[in-house]
Amino acid sequence: EKSVFTIVMTGTPIPNSYVDLHNMLHILYNDEYKEFFGFTTRMLKNLSESERKLVNNKIQPFFCRTTKQQLLVPSVNEDELIKVETTAEEVELFKIIKSKYRSNKLALFIRLLQLESNPNMLLKSVDLTAFKDILEETDDIDNVDFVDYSDDVKNLVKNIKITTKMKSCINLIETLVQEGKIIIAWCIFIDSIKQIEQLLIDKGIRVKCIYGEIELSERLEIIQSFKNKEFDVLVTNPHTLAESVSLHSVCHDAVYFEYSYNLVHLLQSKDRIHRLGLPDGQYTQYYYLQSNYSFDGNEFSIDKQIYERLMEKEQIMLDAIENNELEEVTSSEEDLELIFDKLMY
């Protein structure tokens, strides 16, 4: 109440949709809110198009955004999408999982990610605590936890020592390191982080990893060592390292081994190496590995579908910024429907 100036800051995209405005505007204009704005939380949760325009017009004098273009941050290179053709065993497991989880898209989503990373995870129950911070919701996941596969399936899993996607990831990182580049690799599963770390160590590549179980003091030491170029590859996940860490002074290449449809996590992870302070002409390159399944005359890539969904959501956000508006936020259910729209049941 006694401050001379008050500024409320939020993320881009806005974390929890237009409902966030209720608290932010109350901080700024608590006494005037009801008379001038008058937005109820119920209204903000389910805005019609006309109401959305009304809200944006009302907040316009009090709202601004600064873009990277305005800050003269060098543009990123075009994304490199690396298509990975899967083996017959991987395709067979894909078909089994598709059939088994056809009624639960969130379960199907998680299990397909596991198939591409390390099929041994399919034989274990999912630790939901790992997903509450990565995905937007885990309520509809009851059917993900049964693992009563036949012996044939278990044999398929055991026959896949390293997935084609993992092999491609390791080969890509090895090539980039041989070119003298410092790399950050992004995953979802802790299992994947540890596996990538060990496979790179086996190749003589200097690598460290950061995930939730790593103590804060050790994380800070690892980050500082990375900035000092004491090792070549940092493997981590968005939940642990997506915010408030600047790596752009030493790292300009990011490899996305696993990624979800959560746009906030993607943008935050990208911003670790693409941010204010980069010199003119400095490149920034993102690599996305995408497993492709060919079956029954069809092709499907969950990675490609997730990537395209992320790009759609990012464009919606950019259009909103261009129009000086707040973007609309979609639900996990909507995202999953769009991701699996092309997968024939």
243 has a pLDDT exceeding 80: no
Predicted confidence (pLDDT) per residue in 298-340, tens digit: 899 999 999 999 999 999 888 888 777 887 777 788 888 888 8
pLDDT value, residue 48: 86
pLDDT value, residue 130: 59
Range(s) of the domain holding residue 235: 71-345
pLDDT band at 69 (very low <50, low <70, confident <90, very high): confident
Answer with the one of 64, 87, 102 that is the final residue of a domain: 64
pLDDT value, residue 173: 99
Mean pLDDT of 177-203: 97
Mean pLDDT of 194-200: 98
In a domain, 57, yes or no: yes
Tokens coding 231: 């090792």
Same domain, 330 and 221: yes
- Burial category of 301 from C-beta neighbours within 10 Å (exposed 0-12, middle 13-18, buried 19 and up): buried
Instruction: Write down the mean pLDDT value for the chain.
Output: 88
Q: Domain with 306 in it: what CATH number?
A: 3.40.50.300
User: Into how many domains does the chain fold?
Assistant: 2
CA distances from 59 to 39, 64, 65 (A): 11, 9, 12
pLDDT band at 5 (very low <50, low <70, confident <90, very high): confident
Distance CA 215, CA 240 (A): 11
In a domain, 204, yes or no: yes
Same domain, 105 and 181: yes
Same domain, 273 and 155: yes
Same domain, 171 and 24: no
Same domain, 225 and 293: yes
Same domain, 214 and 318: yes
In a domain, 10, yes or no: no
Answer with the one of 26, 45, 64 that is the final residue of a domain: 64
Mean pLDDT of 23-49: 89
Rg (CA), the chain: 22
In a domain, 3, yes or no: no
Distance of CA 204 to the CA centre of its chain: 29
The long-range contacts involving 44-53, CB below 8 angstroms and separated by at least 24 positions, are 44/17, 44/18, 44/19, 45/17, 45/18, 45/19, 47/18, 52/18, 52/328
Same domain, 97 and 24: no
Query: 159 and 224 in contact (C-beta within 8 Å)?
Result: no
161 vs 180 pLDDT, higher one: 180
pLDDT value, residue 262: 87
Same domain, 171 and 308: yes
In a domain, 266, yes or no: yes
pLDDT value, residue 141: 55
List the end-to-end C-alpha distance of the chain, in Å, as a whole number: 58
Query: 229 and 182 in contact (C-beta within 8 Å)?
Result: yes
Tokens coding 252: 């300009």
Task: Tell me which residue has tokens 């959560």.
Answer: 262
Same domain, 25 and 95: no
Same domain, 81 and 126: yes
pLDDT value, residue 286: 99
Query: 251 and 227 in contact (C-beta within 8 Å)?
Result: no
Same domain, 38 and 177: no
Q: Is the pTM of this model over 0.85?
A: yes
234 has a pLDDT exceeding 90: yes
Residue 204 CB partners (closer than 8 Å, separation 6+)? none
Predicted confidence (pLDDT) per residue in 122-177, tens digit: 888 776 665 665 555 555 555 555 555 667 788 899 889 999 999 999 999 999 99
In a domain, 177, yes or no: yes
> CA 302, 123, 203: angle at the middle one, nearest 5?
70
CA distances from 152 to 76, 136, 158, 159, 203 (A): 46, 34, 10, 11, 33
pLDDT band at 119 (very low <50, low <70, confident <90, very high): very high
